[in-house]
């Protein structure tokens, strides 16, 4: 061993932080993962883990800085810390948010501006992750992805920064200024957060994904790496420790290539990208050339790492806004999404050079009281709230219909549809999202966690035939029509509907986790059907966006047919469904008041032909009846969004309660022969 090598191997582990090119390169990997994933690159199916890499890096760097402050001064200068964080994070994020609001106001349909305004306010208040957690648990919220959805991770980090300095300072004091004892405290807190993350996946995946308590362990893992590198452990000084960075890099690449949207996440699966990042940071701190620092330190990686924050901010609106303009039913081709991803790089560089770096070094803020930074941050947040609110109010002043009325029209086969948005549209475009069957409000429709198989009865005539409605939210869409028949005394109705739970006998995944609540509920309903012996069971489900199945979705039509046959074999009932519009009709119509036919969906795209065939075959082979009501929704060319003066769909594939009620008589014409 040379003298230089011996010196390197024997050098004490550095406690002071400094610029690390390998960490900059790691930032580049993280942001490239995210950008390529959102651009739809087929190979990067697990690119979403780039955010987890950022979490670990942030936890490592912030904790290193805070521990140095505790070591040097015995305390943390909270004002200085928060001022530095504000100058680092807020200028670029708030400017991009403000420009995003303006771009949305110019280009996206007016009906979406309410969601844009909500997102802008949540960003200004540093709680976007909480907004998306709430929206993620609302099954009825079916809108395009928010232009601010990527801000959720900033919300997690900002909330972490709010609490973490105080936790470390208090822990340091309680541990009598012992960093080793503080390490135990941090380890326990990190472990608790990880357990919450794993357990939370079985309770609510959206809250587990977006909430700080269930994601803090990833930043905590970075903090543990900071403690480790400050410990001076002898093995950290070994050249061979650098091999850990190669192991981490291989693991991270494997995760990026092998994870998919069907992977349960975060939960325990998030541990792999977190561990990989920790290995890269630890290995990168080792002396010698055995680590991956040379690869991570190449100039292109350093450039992308430097602009990674700005790149993360700008790339998402560039993908989302053009897609909303094109319409969710018309996915942008891969080459367009790649061009949009490429366009994010020069914009990010400009943001980095003009905003991000200059504000950090801006003398008037750095040299004055931290209160100045706080005041500027509050003013910028207020400006964003004002811009978001103003843009929403401006769109509210725009007309949401023409000044021409349309005649009411009862449902009939081959409807031509109304080619404009009438002033007497029912429900109005603004009210469409909330035009739900009453079973959502009265608790008769079961949400995902609920397994109660009891139903709700409508109709007082004991001599009327008993009809069981059985299925997912599409079954719930038919409730107004069936309730109308029950109120007329033609049937007695028993409702059995549950969100995202098909009545077909299939083992489903919900957010990557086996949907056992669906299996339990379905079995309970079938048992109740066998006990009640109804005159008719009406099955209806939404296979238009096939649920993820345990074991995969290969040859889904065959599995769908087998699942329906299994259920029908235990009961007797016809099956119906409605067209799939692809995107929310009201949103499209708000941008095409004079040409509503632009929002009609071609017949060939409205139904999944193989699944329709499978459903019909399942009914026929099982001796049941297949009810084809598609002719009441579609003509030979398309499926209009407005028939007469009635809006047909409240979102992409659920009927409005108003139109469903109008379908009572056509539905009875189909049902009466099967009952008699």
pLDDT in tens, 139-148: 444 557 899 9
pLDDT band at 513 (very low <50, low <70, confident <90, very high): confident
Two tokens at 16? Answer: 């002071």
d(CA 34, CA 259): 13
d(CA 490, CA 461): 8
Whole-Å CA distances, 305 to 23, 62, 64, 300, 308: 8, 17, 20, 8, 5
pLDDT at 466: 93
d(CA 178, CA 176): 5
Question: What phi, psi does 497 have (nearest 5°)?
Answer: -130, 150
User: Helix 212-230 to helix 271-284 angle, to the nearest 10 degrees?
Assistant: 20
pLDDT at 578: 64
CB atoms within 10 A of CB 12: 9
CB atoms within 10 A of CB 295: 13
pLDDT band at 606 (very low <50, low <70, confident <90, very high): confident
pLDDT in tens, 150-203: 999 999 999 999 999 999 999 999 999 999 999 999 999 999 999 999 999 888
pLDDT at 446: 93
Two tokens at 219? Answer: 């930043």
**Token pair 């077909």: residue:** 504
Bond preceding residue 273 cis, omega within 30 of 0? no
Buried b / exposed e along 49-84 (16+ C-beta atoms within 10 A): bbbbbbbbbbbbbbbbebbebbeeeeebeeeebbbb
CB atoms within 10 A of CB 626: 15
Statement: residue 603 has pLDDT above 90: no
pLDDT in tens, 479-491: 999 999 999 999 9
Average pLDDT over residues 567-576: 70
Statement: residue 5 has pLDDT above 70: no
d(CA 419, CA 382): 42
Which helix (H) or strand (E) segment is 585 a member of? helix 585-590
d(CA 579, CA 633): 7
Average pLDDT over residues 599-607: 85
Edge to edge, the sheet with strand 492-497 lists 456-458, 492-497, 466-471, 536-540, 575-576
pLDDT at 15: 55
pLDDT band at 7 (very low <50, low <70, confident <90, very high): very low
pTM: predicted TM-score of the whole model, two decimal places: 0.88
pLDDT at 14: 46
d(CA 365, CA 371): 9
pLDDT at 372: 83
pLDDT at 575: 54
Quick one: how far is CA 143 from the chain centroid?
11
d(CA 242, CA 522): 54
Domain range annotation of the chain: 3-395, 432-675
pLDDT band at 10 (very low <50, low <70, confident <90, very high): very low
d(CA 541, CA 614): 13
Question: What HEC string does 266-306 produce?
Answer: CHHHHHHHHHHHHHHHHHHCCCCCCCCHHHHCCHHHHHHHH
More confident residue, 495 or 3: 495
d(CA 276, CA 251): 6
Question: What phi, psi does 587 have (nearest 5°)?
Answer: -65, -45
Beta strands in 302-420 (DSSP E): none
Note the CATH architecture for domain 432-675: 3-Layer(aba) Sandwich (3.40)
pLDDT at 264: 86
Residue 623: exposure state from Cβ atoms within 10 A (0-12, 13-18, ≥19): exposed
pLDDT in tens, 250-303: 999 999 999 998 788 999 999 999 999 999 999 999 998 899 999 999 999 999
More confident residue, 388 or 360: 388
Question: What phi, psi does 514 have (nearest 5°)?
Answer: -60, 130
Contacts of 283 (CB under 8 A, 6+ apart): 241, 242, 243, 244, 245, 246, 247, 248, 291, 292
pLDDT at 229: 96
Average pLDDT over residues 336-345: 97
CA-based torsion, 116, 139, 550, 475: positive or negative: negative
Mean predicted lDDT score pLDDT of the chain: 90
């Amino acid at each position: 061993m040379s003298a230089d090598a011996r010196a390197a191997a024997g050098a004490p582990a550095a406690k002071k932080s400094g610029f690390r090119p390998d960490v900059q390169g790691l930032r580049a990997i993280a942001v490239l993962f995210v950008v390529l994933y959102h651009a739809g690159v087929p190979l990067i199916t697990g690119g979403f883990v780039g955010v987890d890499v950022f979490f670990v890096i942030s936890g490592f760097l912030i904790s290193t800085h805070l521990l140095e402050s505790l070591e040097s001064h015995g305390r943390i200068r909270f004002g200085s810390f928060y001022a530095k964080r504000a100058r680092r994070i807020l200028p670029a994020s708030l400017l991009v948010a403000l420009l995003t609001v303006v771009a949305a106001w110019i280009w996206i349909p007016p009906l979406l501006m309410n969601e844009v305004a909500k997102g802008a306010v949540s960003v200004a208040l540093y709680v976007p992750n909480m907004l998306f957690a709430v929206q993620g648990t609302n099954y009825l919220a079916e809108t395009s992805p928010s232009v601010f959805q990527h801000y959720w991770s900033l919300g997690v980090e900002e909330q972490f920064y709010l609490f973490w300095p105080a936790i470390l300072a208090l822990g340091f004091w309680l541990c009598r200024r012992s960093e080793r004892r503080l390490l135990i405290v941090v380890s326990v807190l990190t472990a608790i957060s990880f357990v919450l993350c794993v357990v939370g996946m079985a309770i609510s995946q959206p809250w587990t994904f977006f909430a700080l308590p269930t994601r803090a362990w990833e930043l905590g893992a970075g903090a543990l790496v900071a403690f480790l590198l400050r410990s001076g452990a002898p093995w950290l000084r070994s050249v061979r420790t650098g091999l850990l960075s190669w192991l981490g890099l291989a693991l991270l690449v494997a995760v990026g290539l092998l994870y998919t949207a069907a992977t349960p996440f975060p939960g325990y699966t998030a541990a792999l990208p977190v561990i990989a990042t920790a290995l890269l940071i630890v290995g990168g701190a080792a002396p010698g050339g055995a680590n991956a620092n040379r690869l991570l330190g190449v100039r292109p990686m350093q450039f992308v790492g430097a602009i990674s924050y700005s790149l993360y901010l700008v790339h998402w609106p560039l993908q989302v806004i053009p897609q909303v303009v094109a319409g969710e039913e018309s996915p942008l081709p891969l080459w367009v999404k790649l061009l949009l991803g490429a366009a994010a790089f020069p914009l990010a560089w400009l943001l980095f050079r003009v905003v991000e770096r200059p504000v950090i070094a801006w003398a008037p803020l750095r040299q004055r009281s931290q209160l100045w930074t706080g005041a500027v941050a509050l003013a910028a947040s207020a400006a964003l709230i004002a811009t978001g609110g103003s843009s929403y109010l401006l769109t509210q002043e725009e007309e949401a219909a023409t000044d021409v009325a349309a005649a009411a029209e009862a449902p009939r086969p081959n409807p031509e549809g109304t080619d404009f948005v009438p002033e007497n549209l029912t429900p109005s475009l603004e009210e469409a999202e909330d035009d739900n069957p009453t079973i959502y409000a009265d608790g008769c429709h079961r949400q995902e966690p609920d397994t109660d198989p009891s139903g709700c009865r409508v109709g007082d005539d004991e001599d009327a035939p008993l009809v069981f409605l059985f299925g997912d939210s599409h079954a719930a869409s038919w409730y107004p029509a069936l309730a109308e028949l029950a109120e007329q005394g033609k049937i007695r109705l028993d409702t059995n509907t549950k969100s995202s739970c098909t009545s077909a006998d299939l083992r489903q995944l919900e957010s990557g986790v086996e949907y056992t609540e669906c299996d339990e509920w379905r079995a309970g309903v079938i048992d109740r059907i066998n006990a009640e012996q109804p005159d008719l069971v009406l099955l209806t489900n939404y296979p238009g966006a096939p649920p993820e199945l345990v074991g995969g979705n290969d040859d889904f039509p065959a599995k769908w047919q087998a699942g329906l046959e299994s259920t029908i074999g235990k009961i007797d009932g016809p099956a119906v469904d409605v067209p799939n519009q692809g995107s929310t009709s009201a949103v499209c119509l708000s941008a095409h008041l004079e040409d509503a036919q632009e929002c009609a969906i071609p017949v060939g795209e409205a139904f999944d032909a193989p699944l329709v065939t499978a459903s019909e075959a399942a009914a026929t082979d099982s001796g049941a009846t297949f009810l084809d009501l598609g002719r009441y929704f579609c003509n030979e060319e398309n499926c209009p969004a407005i028939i007469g003066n009635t809006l047909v769909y409240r979102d992409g594939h659920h009927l409005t309660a108003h139109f469903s009620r109008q379908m009572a008589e056509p539905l009875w014409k189909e049902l009466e022969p099967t009952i008699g």
